Structure 1
């Protein structure tokens, strides 16, 4: 396991601080607030710590306030129900006594059932693509000095975008994105950890799909963006230290909100997870 991946795994390894209470540190990725995927991954880990012999199959979360990367996050888990096949947990994440995220997580016993899935879409192989880090390095001169070092730091999740576009000269594009992703280095055989890492990684790129058709990028100072909610469903087993294709589209944006969804496939073409997200996308006009 590489050092940056171990750092992320440790970040998800929450410390118990009481009955069904856990504390997690935050990681500064150079964004204005705590990366939403971090809070998703930690919330899923907190809920999983209160369930035995069942794995999460879905998570539904709302982002209530931006988080502060300088402060730890408290996660409180409410054991809503333990049934014969399913368990439900409610998670509340707080900083300084204020709620920043609320989530419902559902767990299921392993069982067989009817199966079908969408076919994996066409995509160039990951070995033919540049990494997101390489692409960021080409933009170093245009990055804010205060966050440049963090934005150029290697991250635990390696991402290789398909058709990344030029953020300095944005054009109107289809509401569709793809990228390959994986965790750097070999991970332990812990399906809960792999689910938490995928929840973390699923927040990369999804929001941006909803601004593709509008000829703007995150570097536009008039653009105000923030995740409002996020859901993920786990369909089949997978490993985060193997390449996964994230295929994303955005069926609609309206009312200052953009809606995106994604399907995640393993190299064998198995659909392993799906996501949805709605985000605030406001474009302020210059005064």
Structure 2
């Protein structure tokens, strides 16, 4: 499942100025319908075409898993494997297995299916709130979002070097606004260290449900991660012959978060090889609080034809 932020087929209303409509559309996309005990259906993305965005499947799987857990227990980690590309022509069915309910933790397995075939397996763990020893990384010293241009604005400036399809996807109304720190030039990618930072948030008010905000974080965490491992090689999503897909994806939730406020996504890639790239991410609030960590390995191949 491709993690390209421009490829993310996010729900977008016809009115590009309807910022709240964008947030409401994302909330509708992430909420799943219970059709039987431990069986859920994830809605299709209105207007979506081709492959389903991987973050959508992970976010919906999280919402399905949480449906079988006591509300006082919050998701603290998930580990997902992508097996097949999802198809936007069909809804996704989620089957939840209740593996364990202990005094403090509950674990669940989720299988996401389309047309009778699994497209994702996910393990999720939930924990009852408790106090404990505490420390955290310090947020990198980077410019704030108010000082930066959005991906859409940067794409407008670089339109001549971008394929039309990529330009249209980056500039169309999307519920997640992204503001890169540092160079952003997919059409002419420079060779860079495998480290980058990007601010993002949900445009509009996402409401007060903590679970929905965590699902939205899982959704957005599949953006801008795999591309970090491409930077040392001077390739991007629009480079000729590039084949990319998320293979597995993990998220650790350290505390509650509001996705409709700015978060800094700080990513690095310590290794790439054998057609795969390994990436890590940390998410910070604007006041420097570490709220989540991620890891992902993805397919990055350059095909000659």
TM more than 0.5:
yes
What's the CA shift for 1:25?
Answer: 2.0
Structure 1 residue ranges, 4+ long, deviating more than 6 angstroms after superposition:
28-31
- Distance in 2 (alpha carbons) for counterparts of 1:125 and 1:201: 19
Q: Distance in 1 between matches of 2:138 and 2:149?
A: 25
Query: Which residue of 3, 6, 17 maps to 2:35?
Result: 17
Farther-moved stretch of structure 1 (182-191 vs 82-91): 182-191
Deviation at 1:248, TM superposition (A): 0.2
> Within 2, Cα distance between the matches of 1:3 and 1:135?
24
Match of 2:243 among 216, 224, 245: 224
**TM-score normalized by structure 2?**
0.89
Whether contact under 8 Å (1:158, 1:184) holds in the other structure is yes
Q: Separation in 2 of the partners of 1:31 and 1:208?
A: 22
Assess if the C-alpha contact under 8 Å between 2:139 and 2:288 holds in 1: yes
Counterpart CA distance in 1 for 2:47 and 2:265 is 21
Distance 1:104 1:161 in 2: 31
Please state how far the C-alpha of 1:70 moved relative to its aligned partner.
Answer: 1.6
Q: Give the count of matched residue pairs.
A: 285
Q: Take 1:252 and 1:199, find their aligned partners in 2: how far apart are those partners?
A: 23
Q: C-alpha separation between the residues in 1 aligned to 2:157 and 2:46?
A: 21
Which structure 2 residues correspond to residues 44-83 of structure 1 after superposition, within 5 A?
44-52=62-70, 53-83=72-102
Q: 1:47 to 1:93 in 2, by over 3 A?
A: same
Provide the residue aligned with 1:207 in structure 2.
226
Q: How far does residue 165 in structure 1 lie from its aligned partner after superposition? A: 2.5
Change (3 A) 1:34 1:119: same
TM-score normalised by structure 1 residue count:
0.95
Instruction: Judge conservation of contact 1:133–1:154 (CA < 8 Å) in 2.
Output: no
Instruction: For residues 240-271 of structure 1, give each alpha carbon's deviation from its aligned partner in whole angstroms, at most 9, with x where no partner exists.
Output: 11111100000000111000000000111111
- Unpaired runs of 5+ residues, structure 1, are none
Alignment equivalent of 1:7, drawn from 25, 34, 42: 25
1:175 and 2:175 equivalent? no
2: distance between equivalents of 1:76 and 1:229? 19
User: Using a 3 Å threshold, how does the CA distance of structure 1 residues 123 and 262 change in structure 2: closer, same or farther?
Assistant: same
Unmatched segments (≥5 aa) in structure 2:
1-18
SS in 1 for 2:62: helix
**1: CA distance, partners of 2:28 / 2:240:** 34
How well do the aligned residues superpose, as a CA RMSD in angstroms? 1.7
